[in-house]
Amino acid sequence: MKRLIVLLLALVVVAVGLSFAMLNSEPITLDFYLGELSLPVSLWLVLALAVGVLLGLGSALGILTRQRWQLNRLRREAASSREEVSELRKLPLRTHN
């Protein structure tokens, strides 16, 4: 059921995107310093979205890498602590008379 809902939602998004592209098919020329490029409005928007997604993934990659490194360090520390506690439990208890 969840897959069907996701599929229907994806179809609606594609349909809206295609209708938007058809309504905004006029070319727009952007002048870059080294040249100019003329593409339809809808394609410029898709390119802007793609660049935004790539920048977002790039910034998240640094955070995720740092968190994974910290998680591995904490796991090693926890394993070391568990081993130390296990060894301490093996020691005999001394009683004071």
pLDDT tens-digit map of 15-62: 888 888 888 888 989 888 889 999 988 888 888 989 999 999 999 998
pTM beyond 0.85: the answer is no
Does pLDDT of 10 surpass 80? yes
pLDDT computed for residue 30 by the predictor: 87
Q: Which residues contact 20 (CB under 8 A, 6 or more apart)?
A: 42
For tokens 């979205």, name the residue. 49
How sure is the predictor about 5, in pLDDT bands with cuts at 50, 70 and 90? Answer: very high
Q: Residue 31: left if φ>0, alpha if ψ -120 to 50, beta else—which one?
A: beta
For tokens 């229907």, name the residue. 8
- Residue 27 CA to residue 41 CA, distance in Å, equals 6
Mean pLDDT over 68-87 rounds to 96
pLDDT computed for residue 52 by the predictor: 95
CA distances from 48 to 51, 52, 67, 96 (A): 5, 6, 29, 76
pLDDT computed for residue 61 by the predictor: 93
CA distances from 42 to 15, 19, 78 (A): 14, 10, 52
How sure is the predictor about 12, in pLDDT bands with cuts at 50, 70 and 90? Answer: very high
